[in-house]
Structure 1
């Protein structure tokens, strides 16, 4: 007899029992399945409890429906009891119940138990193997997914399209291009007429691995491209720093009469954010509204971020104010948007408001608010927020948090305090901090401190040409030309070569030009 909280609700169990007569297994299976299909998993478990209590006969389908019901109510205790019943009644060799148990434990995020059930199953079919491979892929353990797939092949179980899609997803997460290419070869040789699902997985894998030419070749040869195919290719261009091509492909998708879904439109917003083009951002906003996707919180967050990066912080604020279901991401996005445009006071106001409304700031929020204080020159507020982060919210500072504080102090001309702050850090400072200090010393003419910091910089990265150029420029600023020549000679002696210059972009009539 099951001794769960659900079963203790005797009134409901008695109501079920009063309506059902007889000991027919099929009848009870139909009742349990009916509750499951009507999205009443608790009642399904109660019906099963009655069957067990009355000693009625059950079969693998009874267990299958009840296991699924436990998964839907996150009934881990009830699920463990069902698992015990399976052993007690001799159903542990039934592949259908073992597969359902693995899926149930996955829903409980109990991968250890899922693996144990899999290992204890004497005869494992392709469905069970696919379930385990997909589980490790979806739960962020791609290496384990690949390991399971190799074991599966060694045991002479032939993968199908579902297996291949899961393995390709694992390769995408690992950026494992060579393994992905091997799977592609397997698809060509062994899978007759692979479906669009497999092709989409291949496109996604090549895009994640930065091999866009291979992905585009598959995309062009596909006979039945769907919206996922287009979205995978578009996001591939966008994620690999080619937003122009992503946008061109999006417009090609439109002309091909493929209606974009929410994922495709999020990709559109992402590429507009990367381009930082004001007019393009406005067009994307209107396009999304026309298609009715602007009401979701996820889309509103993305639009806020896009408008802020395109320079329209007023519109970002308007979207934020209209949101009825704000999340921590919403608050973070708004604070970041205000910070990047120098609205430090407004960012602090939103930060305070966020806490009043019950949102607990995390490391990302504090990073944004410290950046806002830095750009607005709010030194005391920055110090207070840094203490608040550690003392009241228990957030262990990242290197980026320390970097924001160093930048804040350097911008305010507090160079000695900045150096003391760096020297008191519980971790080794990175080159970014030392460069910030050298740059601040140069701007404020503190040569003595600059010399001290430069030694630290060259010890950390003796082969980085940027460090030598920074030091050379510092000496040039104060007219110490002998030292300039000494730095240049040392570059030659160490074999340090000046890196290529960077690039800039300019928006002209809705076109972004790079130079």
Structure 2
């Protein structure tokens, strides 16, 4: 007799199947098949829950006949969790039968990787397949369409009304976010009124909507009317006042908060940094530490922005030590803030040390190091980093080109500046803005090529400002 507590969890399915197959009088063959299918599905789900995607996929591939729709859905979910979207999509395409969970899982995956176009295509495919969307479908696609397909929100609203899901909390909250993006106050309120049983998340969505649309008085009235408040409600109100440039009222409400977490502390600190009130930001950070609230990478990033803004090198260095001790040094946002802080405080060597140690770089981190080189007069180094950036497959944006052209101005590199100014549109589709033209005029002026500067000002698609 085996000792039951010594049998590995992953072996239970196989053990049960062998035991049942050896005892045909105990159970029918059809029931054995069903139990084996359930056991395989359970094992796959256990492997995925434990993060062992390879073992789950091996078991899945070795037992195709015993894998039901739940097993397929679980396997797709596992691939998505491990950022293996292509594998998830390939598996989805091979599914013999799909249910609404299958479609919702794939939609959530495309939403996770911020691909609204594939999200849209899959939703159309779902409708053509005759699968009826549910509340999770609509909440996912509305969330995924924001900033790209905002105009589809009213059409989705019509489908939701037709499906009878307009009173659902999840769908209603998603629609409210959609109409907030469309700056449609009346539709925002109408959706809120249609939700029959409003929970705190619904009220918070209305609060966010009013603040984002600039209706501060309505937001405060909503806050005062809410049947219950949580820390999200308070933080939303504080953050809303900050976004509407009412820092004093934001601080007043912040001080009244019955409870504060790292998010609320960071929001208030960031508000001061955005107002360039660095002294209050640093004092509030000290109060945060005294309250025994541990800062996260967003808190440190905000404080580093304050240090960069007022060139507080010593404090920035101390924060760097705290970050290393906290084990957050590999955070992309934080590493980028450290680069920006060191370049603006004059330590380009430390900035490069951090930049070179980064395992992953994004456009913002490349912009920080290129801009830092430009500020330090290292024109050729800036152009060299720009070349590395493009060769790595990273697409530059308008900030990248402002930094590149600024480097050309500092180095007097007229030909290089002209090349990059013309190639930004032709190669990367980055339209020249006023700051790009200002850099070029400055470049021509310092090189003594006044005629070119005057010609460029006349060719600008907009009226020149004082800087130009």
Alignment of 1:381-400 (within 5 A): 381-390=381-390, 392-400=391-399
Number of aligned residue pairs: 421
- Native 8 Å contact 2:139 2:174 kept in 1: yes
Counterpart position of 2:313: 313
Counterpart of 1:103 in structure 2 is 104
- TM-aligned CA distance change 1:191 to 1:389, over 3 Å: closer
CA RMSD of aligned residues (A): 4.0
After TM superposition, list the pairs within 5 Å mapping 1:282-297 onto structure 2.
282-294=282-294, 296-297=296-297
Q: Give, in whole Å, the separation in 2 of the partners of 1:80 and 1:233.
A: 42
1:37 Cα deviation after fit: 8.0
Q: In 2 relative to 1, CA 245–440 (structure 1 residues): closer, same or farther, beyond 3 Å? A: farther
Structure 1 residue 394 displacement after superposition: 4.0
Query: 1:5 maps to which residue?
Result: none
Give the direction of change, closer, same or farther, for the CA distance of 1:32–1:248 in structure 2 (3 Å limit): same
Question: Retained in 1: the 8 A contact 2:13–2:40?
Answer: no
Partner of 1:116: 125
Distance 2:298 2:170 in 1: 29
* Structure 1 unaligned residues grouped into runs of 5+: 1-9, 87-91, 93-97, 472-515
Deviates more, 1:317-326 or 1:13-22: 13-22
Q: In the superposition, relative to structure 1, how do residues 401 and 36 fare at CA in structure 2: closer, same or farther (>3 Å)?
A: closer
Hey, what's the Cα distance between the residues in 2 that align with 1:437 and 1:100? Answer: 55
Matches for 1:391-430 after TM superposition, within 5 Å = 392-412=391-411, 414=412, 416=414, 420-421=418-419, 424-427=422-425, 429-430=432-433
Aligned to 2:251: 247
In structure 2, stretches of 5+ residues that fail to align are: 1-9, 22-26, 81-86, 111-117, 426-430
Change (3 A) 1:313 1:293: farther
Partner Cα separation in structure 1 for residue 179 and residue 95 of structure 2: 33
Give 3-state SS (helix, strand or coil) of 1:139's partner. Answer: helix
CA contact (8 A) 1:71 1:107 kept: no
Instruction: Give the match's secondary structure for 1:284.
Output: helix
Indicate the residue corresponding to 2:77 in structure 1: 71
**Contact 1:243 1:274 (C-alpha < 8 Å) held by counterparts:** no
Contact 1:227–1:260 (CA under 8 A) maintained in structure 2? yes
**Judging changes above 3 Å, is the alpha-carbon distance between structure 1 residues 260 and 34 closer, same or farther for their aligned structure 2 residues?**
farther
What residue number does 1:132 align with? 137
Report if the CA contact (8 A) 2:262-2:294 is conserved: no
SS at match of 2:134: helix
Check 1:424–1:348 CA distance in 2 against 1; reply closer, same or farther (3 A cut).
farther
| 8 Å contact from structure 1 (residues 389, 395) kept in 2 | yes
**TM-score w.r.t. length of structure 2:** 0.74
Q: CA deviation at 1:289?
A: 2.6
1:236 pairs with one of 220, 224, 240: 240
Does 1:195 pair with 2:199? yes
Q: CA-to-partner distance for each residue in 1:189-214, whole Å, 9 max, x for gaps? A: x4445222111111112222333333
Structure 1 residue matching 2:167: 3-state secondary structure: coil
CA distance in 2, matches of 1:134, 1:215: 24
Give the CA deviation at 1:293.
4.5
Tell me, in whole angstroms, the C-alpha distance in 2 between the residues paired with 1:429 and 1:327.
32
Q: Shift of the alpha carbon at 1:360?
A: 4.7
Q: Does 1:212 align with 2:211?
A: no
CA distance in structure 2 between the partners assigned to 1:279 and 1:426 by the alignment: 39
Do the aligned partners of 1:67 and 1:79 also contact (CA within 8 Å) in 2? Answer: no
Aligned to 1:273: 273
Q: Tell me the CA shift for residue 354 of structure 1.
A: 2.9
If you compute each CA radius of gyration, which structure gives the higher value, 1 or 2?
1
* Per-residue CA distance 1:227-277 (angstroms, 9 max, x = gap): 111111222222333333322221122xxx1x1233323312321221333
